[in-house]
């Protein structure tokens, strides 16, 4: 029987938890109504949607009315950034973000630049963290939004959201975070962190693809948002389109499972990561990318001197599924913008591997992968010496 490679690419996507699928199935066939319909079928679907909204809101200490369902975090980021820009442009056209953000934040910002907005791209230090003093200095009277990712999709680094939120609210500037990689993996509290907008997605937390959400603060301050999709007026006119009930049910179930098991799961995954790192450190010229402790428990991003990352991926393809950078830009032959922002030399940026460890991985799998990387790198280096 064909043996599939071990999956260690959970920052690209996670396998759906079977408990999530079980929760979703009845809403495809039995409770299939449109949540907008005013009859029993619609009410059944609307009840499920509302329950899902409550679960997701509770997970981040928000209210159900503050949750806007979207097709994923990319749409949520676009709705947050472009929606705020359009709603507040009379107050200012300056936005602050970070050089290491996902393209789903950087590209909308670059688009807004073509419309006359000014974007400040904050640098990060060698471990991927922003400088809070540089953030505060960058805020101007015409700054309307600060967007800083909660957990980086490549290096797993966790930014200090609470401190950033305090600075933003002191200056009466809206604060948005892309928390696609963070939901149900680290504690998120929109009140404690002074967050005004937060982008979420299901498929990074063992839920279905094609569903996400945007948290939009209703009070202190009430955030205005210009809709980017117009049509049926769903989601209080903030995002039109028939709500995808099975996906919402699955999203909520995935978040619920993650929240209920967060501490125990993080401890287990961290042990796997430390096991893999201890094996890989036997290699000469290997270095860790990102902060050693302020990172997602399942993230391990390393560079190996003298090794091409793409070639190493090919050498390992029958053993393990990993990434050499952001999955969303993997078709582009260019060094990771995240690693170059950390100050990594271009050769080291090309020589990176990103391991995304998840709840279904085992110690045996980690040991197999670690030994495979060791032998493959040593083989490459021997060929280079002989070649």
Give the three-class secondary structure for 168. Answer: helix
**CA distance to 98, 275, 293, 354, 355, per residue, from 288 (Å):** 21, 14, 11, 10, 12
The single residue listed with the structure tokens 């952001």 is 326
Residue closest to 371 by CA, chosen among 275, 291, 248: 275
Is the four-CA dihedral 232, 110, 134, 148 of positive or negative sign? Answer: positive
**C-alpha span between 170 and 291 (Å, rounded):** 28
Instruction: Give counts: helices (H), strands (E), the chain.
Output: 13, 12
**Which helix (H) or strand (E) element contains residue 70?**
strand 67-70
CA Rg value for the chain? 21
Neighbours of 18 (CB within 10 A): 9
Q: Which residues pair with 323 in a beta bridge?
A: 354
**Taking a C-beta distance cutoff of 8 angstroms, is the pair 177, 195 a contact?**
yes
Query: Which residues carry out catalysis?
Result: 328
């Amino acid at each position: 029987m064909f043996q599939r490679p071990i999956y260690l690419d959970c920052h690209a996507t996670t396998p759906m938890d079977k408990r999530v699928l079980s929760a979703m199935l009845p809403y495809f066939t039995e409770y299939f109504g449109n949540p907008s319909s005013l009859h029993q079928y619609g009410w059944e679907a609307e009840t499920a949607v509302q329950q899902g909204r409550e679960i997701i809101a509770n997970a981040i200490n928000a209210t159900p009315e503050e949750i806007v369902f979207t097709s994923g975090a990319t749409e949520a980021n676009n709705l947050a950034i472009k929606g705020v820009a359009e709603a507040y442009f009379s107050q200012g056209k300056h936005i602050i973000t970070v050089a290491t953000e996902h393209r789903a934040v950087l590209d909308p910002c670059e688009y807004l630049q073509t419309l006359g907005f000014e974007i400040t791209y904050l640098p990060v230090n060698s471990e991927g963290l922003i400088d809070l003093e540089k953030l505060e200095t960058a805020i101007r009277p015409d700054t309307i939004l600060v967007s800083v990712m909660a957990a980086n999709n490549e290096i797993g680094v966790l930014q200090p959201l609470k401190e950033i939120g305090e600075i933003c609210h002191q200056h009466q500037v809206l604060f948005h975070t892309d928390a696609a990689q963070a939901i149900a993996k680290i504690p998120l509290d929109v009140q404690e962190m002074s967050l005004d907008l937060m982008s979420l997605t299901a498929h990074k937390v063992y839920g279905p693809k094609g569903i996400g959400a945007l948290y939009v603060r209703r009070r202190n301050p009430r955030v205005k948002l210009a809709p980017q999709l117009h049509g049926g007026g769903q989601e209080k006119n903030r995002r039109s389109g028939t709500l995808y009930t099975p996906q919402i049910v699955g999203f909520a179930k995935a978040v619920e499972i993650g929240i209920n098991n967060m501490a125990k799961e993080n401890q287990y995954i961290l042990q796997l990561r430390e096991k893999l790192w201890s094996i890989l450190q036997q290699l000469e010229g290997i270095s860790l990318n990102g902060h050693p402790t302020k990172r997602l428990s399942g993230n391990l991003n390393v560079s190996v001197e003298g090794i091409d990352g793409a070639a190493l991926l090919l050498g390992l393809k029958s053993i393990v599924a990993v990434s050499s950078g952001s999955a969303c830009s993997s078709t582009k032959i260019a060094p990771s913008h995240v690693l170059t922002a950390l100050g990594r030399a271009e050769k080291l940026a090309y020589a990176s591997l990103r391991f995304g460890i998840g709840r279904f991985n085992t110690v045996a799998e980690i040991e197999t992968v670690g030994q495979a990387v060791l032998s493959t790198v040593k083989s490459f280096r021997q060929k280079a010496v002989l070649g």
